[in-house]
Structure 1
């Protein structure tokens, strides 16, 4: 089917669905707005049965609004249709030439292929494969190849999103993305002080928590008094000094981005290789693998459909960004920036499916952005196109279920939408959203998009959107 015919079909479907109604705010939703002290103008929505049996109800439908993590619906829908449900990231160990008599006469090359499952066990298994193939001695050092994306390190020079760049939600991925560029730290308050260790323990990394004090906070709020850590280089070694306060009697494991990822990769590879009985020469660099390099071992991530289920249920920013970058890597022209190519792919897909891209502002595809914008109508169009597409069951299966799992596990538990509505959440300081599908009292599935943009949206907007879901769930 041609792109023109798809676009015409989408437009015809909207006409057949009936006229669009600029709707007043339903009474229970207005009551929730009043209770929260939010103006009605802060709310935008598009609500309509998927079968078009009732006209769409809408407010601010075509306005460009901050979507927060409901933006992930755009990335996930386009990726499922463009990359395919079986698309997999891949990590490879290579050398310029095959090993001879257990020796690689040159460096070992670790090439990243946007593998979302490259954790510590996967890295160990890669090196174990190499060791069991008979390789023992690597005469050169380690070459880390991140060239799938352009530039290779999108994190360098980018201003932090907020005051906590070391936490997992703020990680900016690259093509290698080893363990999410995170290292676990176990903090424990005992004997009047805070003790800390990294997991795994890495040779050359010293973690010092002597400057941390004890607080009376609940353990669940351990990060409230966290202060930026200080990392210093001592030759090839690193010294990490932690600051702030930690709750007395608490023990917590936290994945944090505190050590530069290149140092982390090279030291982890060297340590694991030594533990496996191998040797490695000096000279670690970040560079492209040479033409004709030989693959010695590989690891494949899970299929995209499986990855997206976890990504969407937990609203994983880093992995969403990784998927978005894969859209660009697949389509990029020589020398083209990966983010530029990814935006082109998304806009072309939306246009092909008859979705107006005028309100769209893309940044990283995850919604963790102050600049990204969509309209409620755009999100509704994405949901309609996704539900009409071949990957509709996979897309539906990624969405959190009201009151049961993911980021919706604690919401709408006493609502008629409990266990039935499937909705992607979004939360920033000044923006909250819900978008997905809500069955009404007659069992009809509604396309649901609700966005609240206001300086107090993050603190007060969720009950408003929950009231809108309950209203739709009660329609007949």
Structure 2
């Protein structure tokens, strides 16, 4: 818990730096970076004037070191600290996400559910396929082997406006652009897996993980021998019909 508090406190200082120097930074502070840090920046080809540092103990004592601490910077992933801090304040450090499952009928001796299976999303951001498989394994261990009714999904926990996945950067199919969802299954993402065919070296098979009902793939691709790979991920194009 203490580490989160520290991270949030550091993130909250950023707007103040962007608006002007903090009074604590007007004092004479060491500005020369330690040799180890300078070497790390050089190894990463990061110019010293492109980085900002502030070493400020949380015990209330004066800052130890500042290097361009009042320079305006893009917050980037540091912004996650604000949402993390808000979540800790709102939900508390002991909050756990719950995905509830209920049976809408009896289970007979053969393990068949004679009714629907209800799944109520609780906003769990880490409900990946591995955890779903574990969940199904526990159902089987409890005697449930067949669902003869519908699977009813309740995603009503969040009341949110329509989310435009392409609004941020025009990359609407990127997983990081997925919106919040009460049942955020597998981060709302699928994986295309390319596997060379041992029997046909010039071909590759394509599979979708997880498999989606009603979605089929042109699962046989031709490989181009002798062509440099380069940015092969960036060159991939998805065509949907």
User: TM tier, shorter chain?
Assistant: 0.5 to 0.7
Match in the other structure for 2:173: 166
Aligned pair in 2 of structure 1 residues 149, 56: CA closer, same or farther (>3 Å)? Answer: farther
- Check conservation: 2:31, 2:67, Cα contact below 8 A: no
The TM-score normalised by the length of structure 2 is 0.61
Aligned pair in 2 of structure 1 residues 53, 26: CA closer, same or farther (>3 Å)? Answer: closer
Aligned pair in 2 of structure 1 residues 98, 49: CA closer, same or farther (>3 Å)? Answer: same
| Residue 45 of structure 2 corresponds to residue 21 of structure 1 | no
- Check conservation: 1:173, 1:181, Cα contact below 8 A: no
Aligned pair in 2 of structure 1 residues 206, 37: CA closer, same or farther (>3 Å)? Answer: closer
The TM-score normalised by the length of structure 1 is 0.35
Aligned pair in 2 of structure 1 residues 110, 37: CA closer, same or farther (>3 Å)? Answer: closer
| Residue 88 of structure 2 corresponds to residue 80 of structure 1 | yes
Aligned pair in 2 of structure 1 residues 22, 61: CA closer, same or farther (>3 Å)? Answer: farther
Match in the other structure for 2:191: 184
Gaps of 5+ in 2: 1-22
In 1, distance between residues paired with 2:220 and 2:105? Answer: 49
Aligned pair in 2 of structure 1 residues 98, 24: CA closer, same or farther (>3 Å)? Answer: same
In the TM superposition, what whole-angstrom CA distance separates every residue of 1:279-313 from its partner, at most 9, and x where no partner exists?
Answer: xxxxxxxxxxxxxxxxxxxxxxxxxxxxxxxxxxx
Gaps of 5+ in 1: 1-17, 233-476
In 2, distance between residues paired with 1:188 and 1:133? Answer: 36
Match in the other structure for 2:78: 70
Aligned pair in 2 of structure 1 residues 50, 118: CA closer, same or farther (>3 Å)? Answer: closer
Higher strand share: 1
Using CA pairs under 8 Å that are at least 6 residues apart, name the structure with larger relative contact order, 1 or 2: 1
Other structure's SS at 1:109 match: strand
In 2, distance between residues paired with 1:150 and 1:187? Answer: 38
| Residue 205 of structure 2 corresponds to residue 195 of structure 1 | yes
In 1, distance between residues paired with 2:158 and 2:183? Answer: 10
1:73 to partner: Cα distance: 1.9
- Check conservation: 1:45, 1:61, Cα contact below 8 A: no
1:112 to partner: Cα distance: 1.1
User: After TM superposition, which residue ranges in structure 1, 4 or more long, deviate above 6 angstroms?
Assistant: 22-25, 36-39
Among candidates 119, 122, 125, match of residue 128 of structure 2: 119
Match in the other structure for 1:222: 232
1:196 to partner: Cα distance: 1.1
In 1, distance between residues paired with 2:155 and 2:91? Answer: 20
- Check conservation: 2:206, 2:220, Cα contact below 8 A: no
Aligned pair in 2 of structure 1 residues 99, 72: CA closer, same or farther (>3 Å)? Answer: same
In 2, distance between residues paired with 1:123 and 1:108? Answer: 14
| Residue 240 of structure 2 corresponds to residue 231 of structure 1 | yes
Higher helix share: 1
Match in the other structure for 1:374: none
Aligned pair in 2 of structure 1 residues 231, 87: CA closer, same or farther (>3 Å)? Answer: same
Aligned pair in 2 of structure 1 residues 39, 130: CA closer, same or farther (>3 Å)? Answer: closer
| Residues matched between the structures, number | 202
Other structure's SS at 2:205 match: strand
1:216 to partner: Cα distance: 0.9
